[in-house]
Amino acid sequence: MYKYLLCWRYLRTRYIALASVISVMLGVATMIVVNSVMAGFAEKMRDRLHGILADVVVESYTLNGFYEWQEVMARIQAVTGDEIVAMAPTMECPGIIDFRVNGEVWNRPVQIIGIQPKERAKTGDFAEFLIDQRGHQIPPSFDVPDELRPTTTASELLKDFPVDRQNPDDLLIEQELQQEMKDQSPDSGAILGYALATIHQKGMEDIFIAPPGTQVKLLFPRFGQTKAEASLLAATTIGYFKSGMSEYDSTHVYMPLEALQQARWLYDYKRGVGAVNTIQIKVKPGVDLAALSSRIQAALDRMKPRFYQVQTWEQKQGPLLGAVAVEQSILNILLFFIIAVAGFGILAIFSMIVVEKTRDIGILKSLGASTAGIRGIFLGYGLLLGAVGSGVGMAGGLLFVHYINEIEQVLSQITGRKVFDDSIYYFNRIPTIIEPMTVIWIVAGALLIAVLASIWPAQRASRLHPVKALRFD
């Protein structure tokens, strides 16, 4: 009985022990906040990575791809049955984009991706990332609207030509000029990565260096029997791809699949089919992706050994996801040192309290308190400090996470600069996820450290000789 009463009384009267409570509290709260924010960011990143890539991706080792993609898709369908929702053939290749900015030609390395936009939209969140200059979502299509077509001789003539709708000759001339205009300007629309088409300056609105209608030229390798050669393809910018993953937003250029196949000389005009080097596969929810990809790999190996590589989206992004996981683990280990430091604080403060309470320990022993009882007082005191510290820390951490965006706004107002610049991550709000198991582990860890830190002082207290303790000055 006395153990509990004295623990509680010491907690209320030994204000120096509050230093331990505060350090445990700060450690626990920090770990909860950091873990929640990191989990939020990681989840957002996974969402976006998964949105860009389909569940399973089949690639050919060669950039030139394969013509028999319809047979490959049929084979995949055959081995997977109704587990597949949609498939989309694509052609990806590295290239260089150039376009004019203030009279100068700017160029950048890019990843050119030829797709069938409607098919590609069925295999992931691709369509959700397509926006216009004002940030409004646009449909997955490469059609070039007339207003974005560049000025040509035909378009100028068409603009000035007075069409008499009653005169069949005028209508015929208008039709011919429209055809001429289409012939004179590129028919291919291109969707550019948002970061490729804009310049971001902190605290300012993004500046579009390739606004809609910008004529871009894409240079990329074409199929050659003897040596690698380059092809050039002109396209009109019709929209932007903004996934929030800077790696993709700064390099991806989406083109119509057929136009890219033809420009790369990978189109069989006789059969009316072009080559692709990637097939994106969307799978039904709940299907084991790793097992499915192994089955597809085995089936395709039988078709053409060592030609296809089948990976789930997680396997394909393994290094990036692995890096995030490692980062989170290392950060957790480092943050746990905060609580470990709090543990040493408890040890130091308890050692001091044991010295200060030496005579009281002697009194308690003279009144019949046992060695285990004295040990129990200090272990219980440590546990109580840990419980109060981690309890308040948990509540504080959870509250902080709950109001993190409001806190960020207040801090931004006080400091006069944005603490969380949403334009860097393209998030409006700081993403957070509270994982109950993580919170439980943090609190349990803090309690364990508090108890471990009090073992040595408690042991010392319990071993004090009652007479020596009573005579202690």
Partner 1 sequence: MAMVPDGSTDVMLSARGVVKSYWKGRNEVPVLQGADLDLERGEMLAIMGASGSGKSTLLHILGLLDEPDSGEVHLAGERIDALADRRRDALRNRAFGFIFQFYHLLPELSALENVLVPQWIRHGPISYWSHRARLRREAQDLLERVGLGHRMTHRPAELSGGEMQRAAIARALAADPIVLLADEPTGNLDATSGQGVLDLLRDLNRERGLTMIVVTHDPNIAQQADRVVRLAEGRVEEWSPALA
Where do contacts with partner 1 occur on this chain (CB under 8 A)? 1-2, 4-6, 9-10, 13, 359-360, 362-371, 373, 465-467, 470
Q: Shortest approach of partner 1 to residue 381 CB, angstroms?
A: 12
Q: Shortest approach of partner 1 to residue 374 CB, angstroms?
A: 10
Q: Which residues contact 58 (CB under 8 A, 6 or more apart)?
A: 72, 76, 278, 279, 281, 296, 300, 308, 309, 310
Q: Length of the chain in residues, anyone?
A: 473
Q: Shortest approach of partner 1 to residue 6 CB, angstroms?
A: 8
Q: Shortest approach of partner 1 to residue 471 CB, angstroms?
A: 9
Long-range contacts of 198-201 (CB under 8 A, 24+ apart): 198/240, 200/423
Q: How far is CA 281 from the centre of its chain?
A: 21
Q: Which is nearer to partner 1, 70 or 366 (CB)?
A: 366
Q: Shortest approach of partner 1 to residue 470 CB, angstroms?
A: 7
Q: Shortest approach of partner 1 to residue 366 CB, angstroms?
A: 5
Q: Which is nearer to partner 1, 40 or 362 (CB)?
A: 362
Q: Which is nearer to partner 1, 83 or 360 (CB)?
A: 360
Q: Which is nearer to partner 1, 419 or 470 (CB)?
A: 470
Structure tokens at 199: 């310049």
Q: Which is nearer to partner 1, 154 or 377 (CB)?
A: 377
| Number of neighbouring beta carbons within 10 Å of residue 452 | 16
| Number of neighbouring beta carbons within 10 Å of residue 377 | 25
Structure tokens at 138: 């646009």
| Number of neighbouring beta carbons within 10 Å of residue 232 | 13
Q: Which is nearer to partner 1, 286 or 368 (CB)?
A: 368
How far apart CA 252 and CA 195 sit, in angstroms, is 9
Residue 239 Cα distances to 57, 205, 414, 424, angstroms: 25, 18, 38, 20
Beta partners for 58? Answer: 279, 310
